[in-house]
Amino acid sequence: MKSLCIAALFLALAGLAAGFTSCSSTGTVCEGDNCVCAAAGPCSHECSPGGEACEVQCSPGEPCSVGCAAGEHCHVECSAAASCAVDCGSSPECHVTCPAAGCTVHNCVGAACEVTCGAVALPSHNGSTASCP
């Protein structure tokens, strides 16, 4: 029975992995532009144009860099990253959760620009750039 459970687990994991492909040399795993950065390594991803939202989860304690396709939704979760740099590409919806410090979000425009620093702090703004100290 134990070996049957282990075999079922491996089949489930293989099926899950089949839907994802590596999309960068940094070990990031993606399905389209929905990406989860590999643990214990820096992450860099450039989302491709084509209508799909750019959704990236950065690794805790590692630097993260994300470029969203111009004019497409951009959602980046990097609150536990060592540092984070995001280019929202003037997205109609740019939501970035940053670490308390060491985060810069470029081309974040309008009311749909939502950036937080740490658990509750707000960034400073200079034109279309939001920064967490």
Which pTM does this prediction carry? Answer: 0.79
Tell me what the pLDDT averaged over the chain comes to: 82
Residue whose tokens read 């590692």? 62
Neighbours of 126 (CB within 10 A): 8
Which residues of the chain are under the pLDDT cut of 70?
1-27
